[in-house]
Each structure stands twice: as structure tokens, then as C-alpha cells.
């Protein structure tokens, strides 16, 4: 590849980056909205899923489990709208790191649980095998979406952009 081809690819980055960000925003919004919606109808089950990790006392796990769907739904709406995108992405990064750490903790301690990420969760029945590695890899993918938005929060069709009146596609001189 010649220097001209390489510089041409880099010249396109400011044009392509916002659209990649929009895709990341929509993907992360879908994750949070589906995760929150899958738990909001049964907050007690969400609390039991958090309790299955055996990290917190039951009462604390129940409160975390009851609050979690509303946090996820709030993050989903904010990132979907593109409102406070960098802040929302930062909270998403932190929450996803906690989720990944929780799954790794359960795995290393030999617990047989369903993560409860997109539903009821909790302890698995005897003979069922947990699928920790795919859950961790999936959450790392979500973490990559949030990380992209943390670094490059400016995307098309965002409330952030409308509020500031800034163009989404940056000049090549930046």
C-alpha cells in the first residue's frame, strides 16, 4: 500500500467515524433497552439473579436487582437519543466492567448460574452447564461499543448535536 492510499484512508476517517458512532449508539441502546425490559416485569427475579452471584447480602442484592432494570432502561433511552452521550457511555463502560467482573467471579468460584443479563437468571438446575465465556465475550463486544462512544461521542441524529449546533462531520483540518 502506498503512502497516498494510506493517507486517503485516514482522510476518510472523520467522515466515516460519526456513522460508526451512530451504529455503536443504536447497538448499545438496543442492548440496554432489551436487557432492562426483560427484567422490569419481575423485579424480585432480578434480585434473585443478582443474589445468585453470592457477592452481596440478600437484601442488598434484591435492591440492586430491583434498580438495575431502570438503570439499564435509562441508559438505553439516553444513548438512543444521543443525550449526554459521553457520560452515558462512561456509565455504560463502568457497568459493563462490573458485569464482566461478576461473571468472571462466578466462573472462578465454580458457581453454576445464568448471568441474568437478558432475563430472569439465577442458579442453574443440576446438570446444566453455565456458558460464561460466551457471556464474557458478548459483554466485551458491548464494552467496545461503549468505549467507542466514550472516545468519539459525536454522532448524527443526536440530541447532543442539536443542542450544541455543532456539525457532526469534522473538517479535515482537525
| Residue at 12 is within a domain | no
Within-domain flag for 166: no
Residue 117: C-alpha distances to residues 18, 57, 102, 120, 150 (Å): 29, 20, 11, 8, 22
Residue 95: inside a domain, yes or no? yes
17-27 pLDDT, tens digit each: 999 999 999 99
pLDDT of residue 26: 98
pTM tops 0.85, yes or no: yes
- The answer to the question of residue 7 being in a domain is no
Give domain status of residue 168, yes or no.
Answer: no
Q: Per residue in 71-80, pLDDT tens?
A: 999 999 999 9
**Domain membership flag for residue 145:** yes
Closest CA to 135 of 120, 115, 121: 115
3-state secondary structure of 56: coil
Domain extent, residue 43, equals: 32-158
Q: How many domains does the chain have?
A: 1
Does residue 89 sit within a domain? yes
Amino acid at each position: 500500500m502506498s503512502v497516498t492510499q494510506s493517507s486517503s484512508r485516514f482522510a476518510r476517517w472523520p467522515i466515516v467515524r460519526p456513522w460508526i458512532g451512530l451504529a455503536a449508539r443504536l447497538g448499545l441502546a438496543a442492548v440496554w433497552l432489551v436487557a432492562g425490559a426483560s427484567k422490569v416485569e419481575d423485579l424480585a427475579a432480578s434480585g434473585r439473579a443478582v443474589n445468585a452471584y453470592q457477592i452481596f447480602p440478600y437484601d442488598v442484592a434484591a435492591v440492586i436487582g430491583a434498580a438495575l432494570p431502570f438503570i439499564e432502561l435509562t441508559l438505553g433511552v439516553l444513548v438512543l437519543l444521543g443525550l449526554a452521550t459521553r457520560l452515558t457511555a462512561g456509565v455504560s463502560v463502568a457497568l459493563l466492567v462490573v458485569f464482566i467482573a461478576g461473571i468472571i467471579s462466578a466462573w472462578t468460584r465454580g458457581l453454576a448460574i445464568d448471568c441474568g443479563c437478558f432475563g430472569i437468571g439465577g442458579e442453574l438446575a443440576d446438570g446444566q452447564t453455565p456458558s460464561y465465556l460466551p457471556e464474557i465475550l458478548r459483554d466485551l463486544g458491548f464494552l467496545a461499543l461503549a468505549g467507542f462512544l466514550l472516545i468519539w461521542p459525536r454522532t448524527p441524529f443526536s440530541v447532543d448535536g442539536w443542542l450544541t449546533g455543532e456539525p457532526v462531520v469534522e473538517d479535515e483540518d482537525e
